[in-house]
Amino acid sequence: MKKDRYLADYVTLLLVAVVLALVPLGVGDSAHYLRIVTLMLIYMAYAVAFNIIFGHTRQLFLCIGALAGSSAYLSVVLATKMFLSPWATIPLGIVFAAFLGGAFSYVSVRRGLGVIFVGVVTLVFSLIFHNLILGLRELTNGETGIETKALGVGVLQSGRGSYYVILAVLMASLVLYHLLMRSRAGTAFRAIADDEFAAELVGIDVTFFKVLAASIGSALLGAVGAIYAYYSGFISPTEYALVSVDIVVLVTLLLGGMGTLLGPVLGGVLFAVLDELVRPLGRLNVLVYGVLMIVLVITFRHGLVAALRKIIKVRIP
């Protein structure tokens, strides 16, 4: 009977997989729209990672793009300069991102410095990352970026192939999320998010679990960030900037609902639609997202999943 507890989760995962797998068929031949839905998947995966880091352990990492970008750049630079295969360098990037995220988390938890420290340091790290990429021009080609087409990740070259590869990555991350949350770690996360002090008193090793959440989330960011670089055919610092990644992830999770399985997915869909609607506005889209962020934080903080749970009265994962 224990299996029934997670029936909702399994059903949800299956539904998500099926629905998302069918999307390319709906899109038809349009390469443009295929790219849009693929990007949607990428951002959903980013959101899953941020969900683990912030949604569950309240660590406000304002360097999502920078973490993803660190992994991506490490991978691409090693691949181009040292002629290593991306299959070797992507894992390196993942480890690097996990290390960085874990380090930020460890230092701030150890020092008991809380939200301010994490927010400030990660925000500053975003700036550092951006400037570092620009500064190490010989390695990274600065603002212009590097082409990644010829690097031999063939499977990410074709339109539909990429979509399904990335969908697989997204599903893997959702499954990872599910497994994480049903494990002992998940219980610890819930306790920490609820009341960190009380969790400590009850004997939960808050440091370990926060660093774990940060590391796993960052590893996921690294994986997706690197894959994105190879998928899109080139890498440049603007692809990983605060206004490109962080704000999207924040809005996505606010829309969908933090701390839930379906949150990143629903949020991702809503955001993709929104993005399309806002496209004719050009560069004003950042403003729209900012406004949306403020409005959501104030009024709709718990997201769509929470709202649906109240309306339909079903425990949506």
Beta carbons of 38 and 44 less than 8 angstroms apart: no
By CB under 8 A, is residue 289 in contact with another protein?
yes
Q: What residue has token string 């590097």?
A: 146
Fill in the DSSP letter of residue 147. Answer: E
By CB under 8 A, is residue 113 in contact with another protein?
yes
Which residues in the 26-65 window bind another protein by CB under 8 A? 58, 60, 62
**At closest approach, how far in Å is the CB of 194 from another protein?**
12
By CB under 8 A, is residue 286 in contact with another protein?
yes
Among 7, 15, 287, 307, contact with another protein (rule: CB under 8 A): 287
By CB under 8 A, is residue 202 in contact with another protein?
no
Amino acid at 34: L
Beta carbons of 60 and 122 less than 8 angstroms apart: yes
**At closest approach, how far in Å is the CB of 314 from another protein?**
28
By CB under 8 A, is residue 291 in contact with another protein?
yes
By CB under 8 A, is residue 278 in contact with another protein?
no
By CB under 8 A, is residue 97 in contact with another protein?
no
Of 287, 280, 250, nearest to 267 (Cα)?
250
The string of DSSP letters for 201-255 reads HTT--HHHHHHHHHHHHHHHHHHHHHHHHHHHSEE-GGGGSIIIIIHHHHHHHHH
Of 268, 182, 166, 258, nearest to 8 (Cα)?
182
Q: Which two tokens stand for residue 264?
A: 């990143």
| Total residues at interface with another protein (CB under 8 A) | 42
Q: Which two tokens stand for residue 10?
A: 């399994």
By CB under 8 A, is residue 132 in contact with another protein?
yes
By CB under 8 A, is residue 134 in contact with another protein?
yes
By CB under 8 A, is residue 270 in contact with another protein?
no
Of 236, 271, 211, nearest to 43 (Cα)?
271
By CB under 8 A, is residue 19 in contact with another protein?
no
**At closest approach, how far in Å is the CB of 312 from another protein?**
27
By CB under 8 A, is residue 284 in contact with another protein?
yes
Residues that bind another protein (CB under 8 A): 58, 60, 62, 107, 111-117, 119-121, 123-124, 127-128, 131-132, 134-136, 242-243, 247, 250, 282-294, 297-298
